[in-house]
Structure 1
Amino acid sequence: MQTTISPAKDRVNNIVLVHGAFADGSGWQRVYTILKARGYRVSVVGNPNTSVEEDVLATQRVLDRQDGPCILVGHSYGGAIITTAGNSAKVAGLVYVAAFAPDKGETLGALLASYPHDPLSGIGEPVDGFVWYDLEKFHAGFAGDLSREESEFMSDSQVPVAASAFGHVFGEPAWRSKPTWYIAASQDHSIPPALERFFGKRTGGTFSEIDGSHLIFISHPEEVATVIEAAAVNALIPARN
């Protein structure tokens, strides 16, 4: 007999997950399964990675379908998306997973350029307006703690990101007005861990770090899901006071 878990009244019951560049929504499956088992209503955005504006609109369409407040979660470039989309009244809190958290007036390209280049990073040069991740560097630079077989499938099914995303100038960030949780990846070779720690400190929310690759939400789904649940349980507390 299947057990139905009743949503808790004192937590946010809707979770919206946003993937990053060079990936698609299927990477969230392990986190999705854990959160569903804990009684959450979980939605995964299929953002096209065609521009910041279009990716924000794709996220907004999913937010509009929520039946109440939600926790908005972004990985990598998905963090840039939730930084804008998170200004929606539907969003009660934000969770950044090895993600960009730009401030007003910043660009992702300039943020990356402000730290030494990691030789393992496979973020390539634009081709016809899109950026791909180097197939030869994908495992070491992007998915170092996944199996080579899983990494190979992800590299061959990657979704390129619009080069324009790196030059997009961001407006007022949602993390300035919404409760925020940030998870850094200490073995990240795509976004510098030092930059992630900077984001985590600057957003002023709850910070944690996982010893894993850029894809910590796949390699450490229980730990990531636990932080997301902490956000769901605590995001509405200020509103109750």
Structure 2
Amino acid sequence: MNTNADTNANANASADTNTNPQLSNVVLVHGGFVDGSGWQGVYDALTADGFTVAVVQNPTFSLAGDVAATLQAIEAMPGPVVLVGHSYGGAVITEAGTHEKVAALAYIAAFAPDKDESVATLIANPAPGAPVPPILPPVDGFLTLDPAQFADSFAADLPPAQARFMADSQVPWGLEALNGAVTEPAWRGKPAWYLVAADDRMIPPPAQRAMAERIGATTVEAPGASHSVYVSQPAATADLIKQAARG
């Protein structure tokens, strides 16, 4: 872990020497079971401060397909970008973030795999007592969360009606995406930031902290936040992204 932290410290130092007003582009990558519309509050906060923001609509069929969709958004940006991922979107930005236009990475309650790791390998051995996400058995190669338990596990700090809508509008998450392995982790060569959702019942906060430490990320915690922290606390999420933009 210390070696990785040293690598990222050097990357952070490099970013500091190159800080300039042109780092004003952000690409937002959603995770499994949801779509890009959940980023609206973060989008509004960032665009109000003059950022150019793209929201990727990942198919979530496969990691390769989601990386391709993200690279398309990165390449369309007019300059260097902060690449942001929530949950499974962290695996996507870890793979897509090696693109030359990516200047910084921001993980929002997200998975941060190393080389040859996938979300499946990261969740294979949960800590004793950790909450178990209510993922239903796969149907035709796709996963969903039990709608009756969605609010408690994914969106406990959102109004009940909003959590219920998110449960009923789920996007099935492909097993190929869950099992997609990272080939070259971007965080090994680029500075990273991490927002820990302190009351997350999908990715346990201790696991988030361990991943943030492993990648040498600058880490901030959002008290009381569920896995839907990017929806429930858009200002805190946007503030972390702005930190990444400033280097």
Does 2:219 correspond to 1:207? yes
Taking only aligned residues, the RMSD between alpha carbons, in angstroms, comes to: 1.4
- Give 1:210's aligned amino acid: A
* Whole-Å separation in 2 of the counterparts to 1:39 and 1:9: 14
Q: Is this contact kept in 1: 2:64–2:180, CA < 8 A?
A: no
My pick for the range that moved more, 23-32 or 186-195, is 186-195
Q: Which letter maps to 1:173? A: P
| Aligned equivalent of 2:16 | none
Partner of 1:29: 40
Structure 1's unaligned 5+ residue stretches are 1-7, 235-241
Measured in 2, the distance between the counterparts of 1:223 and 1:11 equals: 23
- In structure 1, how many angstroms separate the alpha carbons of the residues matched to 2:137 and 2:101? 36
* Cα displacement (A) at 1:169: 2.1
Residue 238 (structure 1) aligns with: none
Aligned length: 227
Q: What's the TM-score once normalised by structure 1's chain length?
A: 0.91
Residue 245 of structure 2, aligned match among 215, 223, 232: 232
Paired with 1:76 and 1:119, the residues of 2 have a C-alpha distance of 16
Kindly indicate whether the alpha-carbon contact (under 8 Å) linking 1:120 and 1:137 is maintained by their aligned counterparts in 2: no
- Cα distance in 2 for partners of 1:181, 1:85 equals 16
How far apart are the structure 1 equivalents of 2:51 and 2:88? 24
Amino acid at match of 2:186: A
Rounded Cα–Cα distance in structure 2 between residues aligned with 1:135 and 1:50: 20
CA distance in 1, matches of 2:209, 2:90: 14
1:112 alignment counterpart: 123
- The answer to whether the 8 A contact 2:63-2:178 is kept is no
Identity %: 47
Instruction: Compare 193-202 and 9-18 and name the one that shifted more.
Output: 9-18
Aligned: 1:66 with 2:77: yes
Distance in 2 (alpha carbons) for counterparts of 1:54 and 1:196? 25
CA separation in 2, counterparts of 1:11 and 1:218?
Answer: 27
Q: What's the offset of the Cα at 1:9?
A: 4.7
Counterpart residue identity of residue 187, structure 2: W
Task: Read off the aligned partner of 2:242 and give its amino acid letter.
Answer: E
What SS class does the counterpart of residue 136 from structure 1 fall into? helix
Instruction: Give the distance between the partners of 1:16 and 1:113, measured in 2 at CA.
Output: 29
The residue matched to 1:170 in structure 2 has which SS?
coil
Tell me which residue corresponds to 1:152.
Answer: 164
Report if the CA contact (8 A) 2:144-2:172 is conserved: yes
Matched residue, 1:14: 25
**1-structure distance, mates of 2:91, 2:137:** 20
Secondary structure at the aligned position of 1:200 is classed as helix
Distance 2:54 2:216 in 1: 26
Unpaired runs of 5+ residues, structure 2, are 1-18
Shift of 1:124: 2.4
Map of 1:217 onto structure 2: 230
CA deviations on 1:188-218 (whole Å, 9 max, x unpaired) are: 1111211111110011020111121001111
8 Å CA contact 2:131–2:202 kept in 1: the answer is no
| AA matched with 1:233 | R
Q: In the aligned structure 1, how far is the partner of 2:136 from the partner of 2:196?
A: 23
Counterpart among 177, 197, 204 of residue 185 in structure 1: 197
CA contact (8 A) 2:131 2:204 kept: no
